[in-house]
Amino acid sequence: MQIINKLLEIETFQGINIHNITHQIQDLILSTSIKTGQVLVFSRHTTTALAINENEERLLEDVKAFLRKLAPDSAKYLHNDLHLRDVPPDEPINAHSHLMAMTLSTSEVIPIVERKLALGTYQSVLFFELDGPRKRTVFCQISGL
């Protein structure tokens, strides 16, 4: 069995944005000789997340609205009391982004069959930026034969 580690780099935008990274992951798989196995996709940031769902524009807008209702950026959060904790000078006010991320997932494991992601018809791998704009990385560990 082979285990291959790769990184995806993603440039994100202001606020909540959702990126379909399915094709980038598929390209990573094709860059290996693995035909059957699985890929672990892991978000390396505390204000980002991953999900497998439908990449449909209106649904994604609904998801953004849901997350904003769940953790509004205007609410009072202890984490945002920057004067009460030791923080870098560029520390953002982002407790809401951390809370949104914790309601989603940091990783997904997807089977690989015949060198392809074994996703369903309407499934895509979605990367959620909850505190952009930033340069982000997603760790992918491809394992199999």
List pLDDT tens digits, range 42-88: 999 999 999 999 999 999 999 999 999 999 999 999 999 999 999 98
The domain locations on the chain are: 2-73+90-144
Strand partners, 108: 41
Using the predicted structure, report yes or no on whether residue 90 has a pLDDT greater than 90: no
User: How far is residue 127's CA from residue 65's CA, in Å, rounded to a whole number?
Assistant: 16
- In the numeric block, the tokens 């904790």 are attached to 85
Using the predicted structure, report yes or no on whether residue 89 has a pLDDT greater than 90: no
What's the pTM?
Answer: 0.95
List pLDDT tens digits, range 107-126: 999 999 999 999 999 999 99
User: How far is residue 132's CA from residue 47's CA, in Å, rounded to a whole number?
Assistant: 9
Q: Which CATH fold would you assign to the domain 2-73+90-144?
A: Jelly Rolls (2.60.120)
- Is 15 strand, coil or helix? strand
